[in-house]
Amino acid sequence: MRKLVLTVVALLSLASVSYAQTSGKIATVWKCAGGTPLTPLPVGDAPDHIYGVQQTKCTAVSGELAGLKQTEGVPTEFVEATGASSKGHGIFVETMSNGDKIVYSYDFTGTSKNKVLDTGSNKFTVTSGTGRFKGMTGGGTCKAKGNPDGSAEFTCSGTYSLAK
């Protein structure tokens, strides 16, 4: 009986170590450049209502996942704006320090001042990954603060689990 109890305790201990190694928290700060110029396409139903597509490059200021540093990312997004308010969705392709990639989809809202992002937020979900991140799941949120030069800083948090 004592061996059975010790075996169960040992298995539970291993399971908790295994779980700790395959899941974690996302806590990343991204600095993103101003992006490609957005070519506005007027919708025509109301003044200042436009659609557009944009892409930029981001550098991780801080953050790591599964022991690897987050290095860079490229968001490509569809934007709908009316006046100073915007919303849309996009795909963020992140490259880790070892070259592995993680792909996220996201929906966002934001406000602009002088035609550049002032504040914003998004909700993201992991859609795929390569290497160590193949089969990864997870998600979270980001808060954005824009700068007058068109760059922005995103503070992101969430959780993830790696495939076993």
Residues 9-35 pLDDT 10s: 333 333 333 334 489 999 999 999 987
Residues 134-144 pLDDT 10s: 999 999 999 99
Residue 108 tokens read as 């966002």
Secondary structure of residue 66 in the 3-state scheme: coil
Residues 118-129 pLDDT 10s: 999 999 999 999
CATH of domain 23-161: 2.40.350.10
Angstrom distance (rounded) from CA 76 to CA 61:
20
To the nearest whole percent, how much of the chain has pLDDT over 70?
Answer: 87
Average pLDDT over all residues of the chain: 88
In this structure, of 65-69, 83-87, 114-118, 127-131, the range with the lowest mean pLDDT score is 114-118
Q: Which residue is associated with the tokens 């101003």?
A: 34
Q: Which residues of 78-112 are buried (b: 16+ CB within 10 A; e: fewer)?
A: ebebeeeebebebbbebbbeeebebbbebebebeb
